[in-house]
Amino acid sequence: EVQLVESGGGLVQPGGSQRLSCAASGLTVSSNFMAWVRQAPGKGLEWVSIIRGDGTTDYAASVKGRFTISRDYSQKTLYLQMNSLRAEDTAVYFCARDRQGTSMDYWGRGTLVIVSS
């Protein structure tokens, strides 16, 4: 059974940094496309970033240059390093397995990031 569990959320000041983790079981992070999607309070879903099996990455324009997606060599954890955080980055962040760029079939429960002074 595939499970994705996010962690690392919390309260951070504007301009600060936070690293989110997504622990995977039942699938190998390094051989899958993995994505981050976020949802601001009371708002819709927003795609944030993807890392493909070959290691290439893409980002939403709103986070490009500030966020970095990566994975560890144990093949079990996906990360999202978030720098220069802004109030508008406040959201629940979900990690998901992306099926070769066609759809996201496994999702974690999400971790809440609040950017506020």
The residue ranges that bind another protein (CB under 8 A) are: 35, 37, 44-47, 50, 58-61, 94, 96, 98-99, 101-105, 107-110
Q: How far is the CB of 113 from another protein (least distance, A)?
A: 15
Sign (positive or negative) of CA dihedral 107, 4, 55, 32:
negative
With respect to another protein, which residue has the nearer C-beta, 64 or 117?
64
CA distances from 38 to 31, 42, 78 (A): 23, 12, 15
R_g of the chain, CA atoms, integer Å: 13
Q: How far is the CB of 67 from another protein (least distance, A)?
A: 13
Q: How far is the CB of 81 from another protein (least distance, A)?
A: 19
With respect to another protein, which residue has the nearer C-beta, 31 or 102?
102
With respect to another protein, which residue has the nearer C-beta, 61 or 74?
61
Contact by Cβ (8 Å): 71, 81:
no
With respect to another protein, which residue has the nearer C-beta, 14 or 45?
45
- What is the C-alpha to C-alpha distance for residues 18 and 38, in angstroms, rounded to an integer? 15
